């Protein structure tokens, strides 16, 4: 039965248009009302310890719940640029790795615990050169060329042990905080920067290699006390687009990668014979019956993680018909159908929750070309979050980055997807992220209500701090100029969900926005300061 929840808007005394406002029943059974806000910026969080307190305060100001951190194997492993592993190297023991290489991760898990945020460790390559298979054809693929699954499993065991909540580093007086949220590798369908080769003579090789890496990581996480239920363990982390024949260096289309990973063809039937053997898959029906047990992470992981970028295109625009194996934000139903279909091939009824673990839009400025305007970035982030919220299988949406890098000068240099510029000045997206606001339709006949959706993201922290529900104003500016007037209020009662979804009948054309004032009670938040969403123009005819 469809569950209906009524969201009420309290009309303020002296409201200029009291008869114009209406709150209607809102269906929430088909929405991810507890969707989590995640954030990634490795440069600020790992590489800038002096600024870490300021960064954490900014993220708390925004209401960020979880930090996604890249735990890069060859940045922690000893002798990473040598073809020979250190002698007597106990790779599963965190004490066998240089203490200085762990230090940034120790700092971030400690800071996250202090600020009340969770941590997602994405344990990934590149691999140390002593753990790759042979020599890559080019230097830029050296650390991602056929990485060893068994060696990666040992590294994951070291990470899982160190952040088990029961590990005390040499000389420390306390245990390190536990990490209970994990992703495996990063964009394994991307060649040069992540996993090579992708294809050899048109045969998918990357999925076979990733299958081994993921299974090894799964076994090591279980062995070190991390298992689904108490922990979140994600598989996937695929990039959204790719090429028909990526070779060693380019990206593979995510659904093609997915099918090869699970040993099914384009018709979603199990591969057989030579086609299966070439992809490291079972070649007979009897062997396929063992596939599910031999690859537990592919069937028992907490969820499927994905990066639904589409760069300069609006989030609601589906991929072109020529690219049916792409999965951008608007294509998430395509990914879900593919996952369900594949699970069914092996007799599983698993319906993976979807974790969108990297997303954003580059802006111009500062990037030159292949980017969106500042205002468009703000609008697209709000629209994308609304799309994700409407999908009941989506559990998290991650913003990448907080701050642009100073080196951004062209489309080739670096990401410019931050909410603030390299000099620290906020973009319009900063407030748009803090107080998302989206109207699926902005024009209507006079008298017809419009859906107004949004989120009071700081309530993730201010509700626990004050032990009170949090209220924000919906403000309206009639016409095209003049002051904003109080139109009504929305109340967020649970720290687990910052979202509201209401229908409002506006009296005339104008602009709507949301205003939220931080309450007292937390010295790390600006008590009394008011933040505003972006304004959205509505047109009545």
340 and 457 fall within a common domain: no
Q: Of 130, 122, 243, 144, which Cα lies nearest the Cα of 195?
A: 144
pLDDT value of residue 407: 74
pLDDT in tens, 40-96: 999 999 999 999 999 999 999 999 999 999 999 999 999 999 999 999 999 999 999
Residues of the chain with pLDDT under 70: 1-32, 408-413
Whether 51 is covered by a domain: the verdict is: no
Please say whether the beta carbons of 395 and 35 come within 8 A. Answer: yes
Query: How far from 62 is each of 57, 124, 216, 535, CA to CA, in Å?
Result: 9, 27, 36, 18
18 and 70 fall within a common domain: no
pLDDT value of residue 409: 53
pLDDT value of residue 369: 87
> Which residue among 323, 358, 393 closes a domain?
358
Q: How far apart are CA 281 and CA 298, in angstroms?
A: 14
> Which residue among 343, 358, 373 closes a domain?
358
Q: How far apart are CA 53 and CA 38, in angstroms?
A: 18
Query: How far from 308 is each of 60, 269, 330, 411, CA to CA, in Å?
Result: 25, 26, 8, 19
pLDDT value of residue 69: 98
Whether 156 is covered by a domain: the verdict is: yes
Largest CA distance in the chain: 79
Whether 143 is covered by a domain: the verdict is: yes
26 and 74 fall within a common domain: no
121 and 179 fall within a common domain: yes
350 and 446 fall within a common domain: no
11 and 152 fall within a common domain: no
Q: How far apart are CA 206 and CA 141, in angstroms?
A: 13
CATH number for the domain spanning 97: value is 3.20.20
23 and 71 fall within a common domain: no
Strand 530-532 to 499-504 pairing: unpaired
Whether 405 is covered by a domain: the verdict is: no
353 and 455 fall within a common domain: no
Q: How far apart are CA 289 and CA 283, in angstroms?
A: 11
319 and 189 fall within a common domain: yes
Whether 429 is covered by a domain: the verdict is: no
Q: How far apart are CA 345 and CA 493, in angstroms?
A: 42
> Which residue among 313, 336, 358 closes a domain?
358
pLDDT value of residue 34: 82
- What letter does residue 130 receive in the DSSP assignment? G
Whether 180 is covered by a domain: the verdict is: yes
Whether 115 is covered by a domain: the verdict is: yes
Q: Which residue has the tokens 């403000």?
A: 475
Q: How far apart are CA 408 and CA 270, in angstroms?
A: 45
CATH number for the domain spanning 491: value is 2.60.40
pLDDT value of residue 408: 58
Q: Write out the residue range of the structural domain in which residue 310 sits.
A: 65-358
118 and 18 fall within a common domain: no
Please say whether the beta carbons of 277 and 283 come within 8 A. Answer: yes
15 and 84 fall within a common domain: no
Q: How far apart are CA 160 and CA 93, in angstroms?
A: 10
Query: Domain tally for the chain?
Result: 2
Whether 473 is covered by a domain: the verdict is: yes
338 and 460 fall within a common domain: no
pLDDT value of residue 267: 97
Sign of the CA dihedral running 363, 368, 370, 375: positive
- What letter does residue 329 receive in the DSSP assignment? G
Q: How far apart are CA 357 and CA 136, in angstroms?
A: 29
Please say whether the beta carbons of 435 and 472 come within 8 A. Answer: yes
Tokens representing residue 337 in the block:
């159908």
Q: How far apart are CA 126 and CA 40, in angstroms?
A: 19
pLDDT in tens, 112-166: 999 999 999 999 999 999 999 988 999 999 999 999 999 999 999 999 999 999 9
Query: How far from 492 is each of 9, 93, 211, 432, 464, CA to CA, in Å?
Result: 11, 45, 42, 18, 12
pLDDT value of residue 190: 97
Q: How far apart are CA 317 and CA 319, in angstroms?
A: 7
């Amino acid at each position: 039965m469809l569950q209906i929840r009524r969201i009420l808007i309290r009309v303020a005394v002296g409201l200029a248009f009291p008869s114009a406002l209406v709150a209607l029943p809102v269906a929430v059974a088909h929405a991810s009302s507890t969707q989590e806000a995640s954030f990634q910026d490795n440069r600020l969080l790992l590489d800038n310890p002096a600024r870490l307190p300021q960064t954490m305060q900014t993220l708390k100001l925004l209401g960020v719940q979880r930090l996604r951190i890249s735990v890069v194997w060859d940045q922690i492993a000893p002798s990473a640029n040598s073809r020979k592993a250190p002698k007597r190297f106990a790779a599963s023991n965190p004490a066998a790795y240089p203490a200085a290489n762990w230090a940034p991760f120790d700092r971030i898990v400690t800071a996250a615990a202090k600020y009340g945020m969770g941590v997602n460790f994405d344990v990934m390559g590149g691999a140390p050169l002593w753990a790759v298979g042979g020599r890559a054809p080019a230097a830029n693929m050296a650390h991602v060329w056929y990485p060893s699954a068994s060696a990666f499993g040992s590294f994951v065991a070291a990470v899982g042990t160190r952040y088990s909540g029961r590990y005390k580093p040499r000389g420390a007086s306390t245990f390190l905080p536990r990490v209970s949220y994990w992703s495996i590798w990063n964009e394994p369908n991307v060649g040069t920067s992540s996993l090579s080769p992708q294809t050899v003579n048109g045969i998918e090789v990357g999925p076979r290699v990733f299958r081994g890496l993921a299974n090894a990581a799964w076994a090591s996480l279980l062995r070190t006390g991390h298992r689904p239920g108490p922990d979140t363990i994600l598989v996937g982390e695929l990039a959204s687009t790719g090429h028909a024949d990526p070779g060693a260096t380019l990206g593979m289309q995510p659904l093609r990668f997915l099918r090869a990973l699970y040993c099914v063809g384009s018709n979603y039937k199990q591969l057989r014979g030579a086609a299966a053997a070439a992809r490291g898959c079972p070649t007979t029906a009897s062997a396929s019956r063992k596939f599910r047990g031999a690859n537990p992470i592919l069937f028992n992981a907490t969820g499927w993680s994905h990066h639904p970028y589409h760069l300069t295109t609006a989030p609601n625009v589906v991929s072109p018909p020529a690219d049916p194996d792409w999965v951008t934000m608007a294509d998430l139903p395509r990914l879900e159908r593919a996952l369900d279909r594949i699970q069914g091939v092996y007799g599983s009824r698993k319906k993976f929750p979807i974790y969108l673990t990297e997303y954003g839009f580059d802006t111009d400025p500062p990037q030159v070309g292949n980017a969106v305007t500042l205002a468009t970035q703000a609008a697209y982030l709000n629209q994308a979050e609304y799309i994700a919220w409407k999908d009941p299988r989506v559990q998290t949406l991650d913003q990448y980055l907080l701050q642009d890098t100073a080196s951004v000068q062209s489309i080739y240099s670096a990401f410019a997807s931050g909410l603030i510029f390299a000099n620290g000045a906020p973009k319009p997206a900063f407030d748009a992220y803090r107080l998302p606001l989206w109207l699926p339709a902005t024009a209507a006949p006079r008298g017809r209500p419009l859906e107004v959706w949004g989120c009071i993201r700081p309530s993730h922290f201010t509700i626990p701090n004050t032990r009170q529900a949090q209220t924000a104003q919906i403000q309206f500016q009639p016409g095209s100029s003049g002051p904003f007037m109080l139109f009504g209020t929305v109340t967020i009662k649970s720290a687990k969900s910052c979202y509201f979804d209401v229908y409002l009948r506006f009296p005339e054309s104008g602009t709507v926005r949301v205003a939220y004032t931080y309450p007292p009670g937390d010295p790390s938040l600006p008590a009394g300061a008011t933040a505003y969403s972006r304004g959205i123009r509505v047109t009545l005819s």
